[in-house]
């Protein structure tokens, strides 16, 4: 019996089908994600990693299937239940997806505006707390996204995703475009936040270093579904052409050597 067999998943997908015109991206896709774990979603380009993330957070309507998040069946949920569950997750898109006309602090405050009775001063103080939590200097709060480095923008995007103290964060390629040191720092930040806040992390990535450094489990998208899930050690034993070449290729070996040194 697996260690998860008796726990209820915080994200439970069954029979998901996504299709654009005649292009079927997901067909009968199932996935379970458990509380507090960091799951890396990998797969070749175009296998539908981002579409899957968008499907769970309601930005893409699947043709078929059930999506349950934090015990709420999103197909059957009332608007109120939907809103409640949406407040319990945060999303960080690839480039941070910040509003360019707002400062970092104002960006982080955006989700907080849904909370009734929260005055402007408290909101700003809470935003500053999130900004500090992701390791940005205090002064970053007054800056506009264009005044930040790529790494700082990603941290700002993460601060906004954490604005409402979510149970789950969805990260779409968080280390893409970062230099190796910045990427490694971001990996450590995600791990630290997940462990200290008990966050569940759904992490779409191509970055093998991130998988080694950060993820508890990996889910591989291939053949229109989640082909296999497991730890990095388990991935190394999977007998499937894409999985084998991904986890045994030269980049994978380099990432493994780096992980073993740390
Ligand atoms: N809104 C859309 N309309 C039409 N096709 C779409 C749409 N969104 C995604 N697709 C298609 O769905 C497929 C999966 O896209 P997705 O962005 O999820 O891939 P991915 O696995 O995240 O890829 P990558 O690793 O390159 O980022 C692609 O073929 C893409 O062109």
User: Tens digit of pLDDT per residue, the chain (262 long)?
Assistant: 455 655 789 999 999 999 999 999 999 999 999 999 999 999 999 999 999 999 999 999 999 999 999 999 998 888 899 989 999 999 998 766 889 999 999 999 999 988 888 899 999 999 999 999 999 998 999 999 999 988 899 999 999 999 999 999 999 998 888 888 888 999 999 999 999 999 999 999 988 888 988 999 999 999 999 999 999 999 999 999 999 989 887 676 666 676 666 6
The predicted pLDDT at position 131 comes to: 95
| Residue 91: count of CB within 10 angstroms of its CB | 22
Q: Which atom of ligand 1 is nearest to the CA of 54?
A: 18
Question: What pLDDT is attached to residue 262?
Answer: 67
Six token digits for residue 60: 């893409």
Is 177 in a helix, a strand, or coil?
coil
Superfamily the domain 1-88+166-236 falls into: P-loop containing nucleotide triphosphate hydrolases (3.40.50.300)
Going by C-beta distance under 8 Å and a sequence separation of 6 or more, which residues neighbour residue 66?
12, 13, 14, 15, 16, 73, 75
Q: In this structure, which residue's CA is closest to atom 4 in ligand 1?
A: 20
**Which residues share a beta bridge with 66?**
14
Long-range contacts of the stretch 117-125 (C-beta < 8 A, 24+): none
One DSSP character per residue, 108-160 reads: HHGGGGGSTT--HHHHHHHHHHHHHHTT--GGGGGS-GGGS-HHHHHHHHHHH
DSSP 66-82: EEEETTEETTT--HHHH
Give the residue, by CA position, lying nearest to ligand 1 atom 3.
20
**DSSP state, residue 45:** T
Q: Is the CB of 22 under 6 A from ligand 1?
A: no
Distance CA 137, CA 133 (A): 10
- Per-residue model confidence (pLDDT) at position 1: 43
The alpha carbon torsion through 76, 81, 87, 89 (nearest 10 deg) reads -30
Determine the Cα–Cα distance for residues 106 and 102; give it in Å rounded to an integer. 6
Domain boundaries, the chain: 1-88+166-236, 99-165
Confirm whether the ipTM is greater than 0.90.
Answer: yes
CA distance 176 to 205: 8
Question: Ligand 1 pocket, 46 CB below 6 A?
Answer: yes
| Residue 141 near ligand 1, beta carbon < 6 Å | no
Does residue 26 have its Cβ closer than 6 Å to ligand 1?
Answer: no
Determine the distance separating the centroid of ligand 1 and the alpha carbon of 128, expressed in angstroms.
35
Q: Select from 18, 19, 20, 208 the residue to mutate for testing ligand 1; criterion: most ligand atoms less than 8 Å from CB.
A: 20
Ligand 1 atom showing the smallest separation from residue 52 Cα: 18
Q: How big is the chain by its Cα radius of gyration, in Å?
A: 18
Residue nearest to ligand 1 atom 5, measured at CA: 20
State which of 16, 21, 24, 25 you would mutate to test the pocket of ligand 1, scoring each by most atoms of that ligand within 8 A of its C-beta. Answer: 25
Structure tokens that stand for 83 in this block: 């809103």
Ligand 1 atom at minimum distance from 21 CA: 4
Atom of ligand 1 nearest to the CA of 43: 21
Ligand 1 within 6 A of CB of 99: no
| In contact, 233 and 189? CB cutoff 8 Å | no
Going 92 to 93 to 99 to 102, the CA torsion angle's sign is positive
CA–CA separation, 105 and 123 (whole Å)? 9
For CA atoms 48, 244, 28, 172, the dihedral sign is: negative
Q: Ligand 1, residues 16, 48, 60, 225: which to mutate, most atoms within 8 A of Cβ?
A: 48
Strand 89-92 with 168-172, pairing = parallel
Q: Supply the DSSP symbol for 230.
A: E
């Amino acid at each position: 019996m697996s260690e998860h067999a008796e726990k209820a998943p915080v994200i439970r997908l069954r029979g998901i089908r996504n299709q654009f015109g005649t292009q079927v991206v997901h067909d009968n896709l199932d996935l379970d994600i458990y509380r507090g774990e960091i799951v890396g979603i990998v797969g070749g380009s175009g296998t539908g990693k981002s579409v899957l993330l968008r499907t769970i957070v309601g930005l893409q309507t699947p043709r078929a299937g059930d999506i349950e998040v934090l015990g709420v069946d999103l197909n059957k949920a009332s608007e109120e239940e939907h809103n409640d569950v949406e407040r319990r997750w945060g999303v960080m898109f690839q480039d941070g997806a910040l509003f360019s006309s707002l400062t970092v602090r104002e960006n982080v405050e955006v989700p907080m505006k849904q909370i009734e009775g929260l005055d402007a001063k408290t909101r700003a103080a809470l935003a500053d707390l999130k900004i500090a939590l992701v390791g940005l200097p205090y002064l970053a709060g007054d800056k506009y996204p264009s005044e930040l480095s790529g790494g700082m923008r990603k941290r700002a995007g993460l601060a906004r995703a954490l604005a409402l103290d979510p149970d789950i964060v969805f990260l779409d390629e968080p280390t893409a475009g970062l230099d190796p040191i910045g990427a490694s720092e971001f990996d450590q930040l995600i791990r630290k936040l997940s462990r200290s806040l008990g966050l569940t992390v759904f992490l779409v990535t191509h970055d093998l270093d991130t998988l080694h450094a950060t993820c508890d489990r990996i889910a591989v998208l291939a053949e229109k579904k989640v082909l296999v899930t497991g730890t990095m050690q388990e991935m190394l034993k999977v007998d499937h052409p894409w999985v084998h070449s991904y986890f045994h290729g030269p980049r994978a070996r380099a990432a493994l050597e780096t992980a073993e040194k740390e």
